[in-house]
Amino acid sequence: MSMQDTASSGVALWRLVADGIERGIAEGRFAAGEKLPGEMEIAETYRVNRHTVRRALAALAERGLVRAERGSGTYVEAQRIAYPLRSRTRFSEIVGAGGREPGGQLIDASEDVASRELARELGLKVGAPLVRIESLRFADRAPICVATTWLSAARFPGAGEVYADLRSMTKLLEHFGVRDYRRASTRITAGIVDATDAARLDVALGRPILVVDSTDVDPDGRPLVTKRSRFAAERVEFLVENG
Amino acid sequence: MSMQDTASSGVALWRLVADGIERGIAEGRFAAGEKLPGEMEIAETYRVNRHTVRRALAALAERGLVRAERGSGTYVEAQRIAYPLRSRTRFSEIVGAGGREPGGQLIDASEDVASRELARELGLKVGAPLVRIESLRFADRAPICVATTWLSAARFPGAGEVYADLRSMTKLLEHFGVRDYRRASTRITAGIVDATDAARLDVALGRPILVVDSTDVDPDGRPLVTKRSRFAAERVEFLVENG
DNA sequence: TCAAGTTGTCTATAGTAATAGACAACTTGA
DNA sequence: TCAAGTTGTCTATTACTATAGACAACTTGA
């Protein structure tokens, strides 16, 4: 493993070391409460200067993943929520089941128009008026997911205000006469958080996120709502349940 | 969106611009064959110097995601494979179904010992001898997935040689008398590629990957094999099938 | 108590990144 | 054909990153 490849990647060495250490934590090599190897040892492992390691550890400490104790060492903190992938996933149940306090916040409700992709998902024409709802979800006050939801403005007039009032997508759909719906598609990929989401999720720029695109349909298969969720990968892992 | 936050993230500005452009491509804002906005326009959008944009585009061009034409503009190339999440996912079917040519390669088979995490997954003691198999999967000769598979060396003696011969996990398990098995768990998260995997997957350092941890068990629920797969997020998206 | 090990802080240098400006070389459409 | 727009290349300056060295301040265990 050579650390000299970074010139072509646009990622600072200290950042790569920080990511590597975090990976070690994520992979269970270092459990919560355990001590990391010393700075000199890490420097040797990654073939970098000790100061570079210090810079990396400072970044991790700032994010609360580790805690340095002068003279003693650097200790690990942090844990991830297991988030099951189901047709209908109740956020509060899942987070609550892990002994954490779920929370939510409406960021913004606004008008939008259907891009080609959204038009396709919602079975509308490009340019059709949409309602766009931005929301944020917490576990123990730590943000874990930002979601952008789109509905047809024609089918769901004033949906933004309704959602602001009801604070639930299921209830919003009920308000408009939808009694039953199901998840038609879910697509998962990974990306790098953008600056807006980084601020909302309280993660550093450059961090990985899980991106989930989903569309819900009525019993006849007609699209109702499409959503793009961005999960902080350092706080959430998805569970595929087999049955 | 402020680009001046990067001092604390260890990611070069040009890199953030490159990631942002790639995100636009991934989100369908720019389809294959379409022209991106010009360098000056992108510079204004991201509030950076035009040279920074040029550096970002150069990186994307080097990876084959875009192609610059002097005097004309910069054009988009690339596409992602939809990879369905099933209990038993046949790689060659999936890749082949997308009209791509599947391929595979055994990187290495070696001996390992069970870490705490692996011991837990395989129902073994920490330190138990394991067989470790590293493999790489291609679509149209582009690497899309690196997988590390672990089996009990006691249960599956010489499994590395057997796999090198048979080139199939199903056949390897049959060789050892396993006629039926199922996926007990699958966990998905996202991460940043490490240098070894970056080289294997032919992606730049700092890029996002989808990380899939899975364990297969026999009909009685006893663990047979556990695997960690790393997918290049720029080439693969997961599909959750409902039904 | 003291040596060894560990983190914390300071100074200094060389290389890369970001910005700025300018001009060349090309494409596109009127 | 020519103007406008676009990418390509060059020079220059400032700020950040990576490394190096050194010493301070603390912890830990013999």
Q: What is the mean pLDDT of chain A?
A: 85
Q: Tell me A35's DSSP state.
A: B
CA distances from A210 to A121, A233, A237, B190 (A): 20, 6, 9, 6
In this structure, of A100-104, A115-119, B228-232, the range with the lowest mean pLDDT score is A100-104
Angstrom distance, B7 CA to D19 C1': 19
Least Cα distance to B134 among B164, B156, B157 occurs for B164
Which residues from A are below 8 Å from B230, CB to CB?
Answer: none
Which residues from B are below 8 Å from A15, CB to CB?
Answer: 9-11, 206
Counting every residue, how long is chain B? 243
User: What pLDDT is stored for residue B34 in this prediction?
Assistant: 85
Least Cα distance to B237 among B25, B35, B16 occurs for B25
Second-level CATH architecture of B3-76: Orthogonal Bundle (1.10)
pLDDT digits (tens, 9 = 90+) for B184-198: 888 888 888 888 898
Angstrom distance, B70 CA to D6 C1': 7
More confident residue, B32 or B51: B51
Q: How far is CA A200 from the centre of its chain?
A: 10
Q: Is the CB of A7 under 7 A from strand C?
A: yes
Tell me if the domain spanning B81-240 has CATH number 3.40.1410.10. yes
Q: Is the CB of A72 under 7 A from strand C?
A: yes
> Which positions on strand C lie below 7 Å from a protein C-beta?
5-10, 16-21, 25-28
Q: Is the CB of A69 under 7 A from strand C?
A: yes
* CA-only gyration radius of chain A, Å: 21
In this structure, of A60-74, B105-119, B168-182, B219-233, the range with the lowest mean pLDDT score is A60-74
* CA-only gyration radius of chain B, Å: 21
Kindly tell me if the per-residue pLDDT of A150 is higher than 80. yes
Least Cα distance to A185 among A148, A139, A224 occurs for A224
Which residues from A are below 8 Å from B18, CB to CB?
Answer: 10
Q: Is the CB of B70 under 7 A from strand C?
A: yes
The residues facing B215 across adjacent strands are B185, B226
- Burial readout B28-51 (b: 16 or more C-beta within 10 A, e: otherwise): eebeeeeebbebeebbeebebeee
- Confidence class of residue B2 from pLDDT cuts 50, 70 and 90? very low
pLDDT digits (tens, 9 = 90+) for B143-183: 899 999 999 999 999 999 999 988 888 889 999 999 888 88
Q: Is the CB of B242 under 7 A from strand C?
A: no
Measured over the CA atoms of residue B186, residue B191, residue B195 and residue B197, the dihedral's sign is: positive
H/E stretch holding B138: strand B129-139
CA dist., res. B193 & res. B205, Å (int): 6
Judged by C1' against the alpha carbon of B15, the nearest nucleotide is: C17
User: What pLDDT is stored for residue A87 in this prediction?
Assistant: 59
- Burial grade of A62 (CB within 10 A; 0-12, 13-18, 19 or more): exposed
Residue ranges per structural domain of chain A: 3-76, 81-240
Nearest to A191 among B195, B204, B233 (CB): B233
User: What pLDDT is stored for residue A147 in this prediction?
Assistant: 94
Least Cα distance to B213 among B194, B228, B193 occurs for B228
Q: How far is CA B175 from the centre of its chain?
A: 28
With CB atoms and an 8 Å threshold, state whether B188 touches A238.
yes
Chain B: nearest CA to A195, how far in angstroms? 6
pLDDT digits (tens, 9 = 90+) for A4-22: 444 567 888 888 898 888 8
Angstrom distance, B55 CA to D12 C1': 18
In this structure, of A100-104, A119-123, A160-164, B223-227, the range with the lowest mean pLDDT score is A100-104
Nearest to B205 among A9, A116, A187 (CB): A9
Q: What is the arithmetic mean of pLDDT over A103-116?
A: 90
**How many other CB atoms sit within 10 Å of the CB of residue A164?**
14
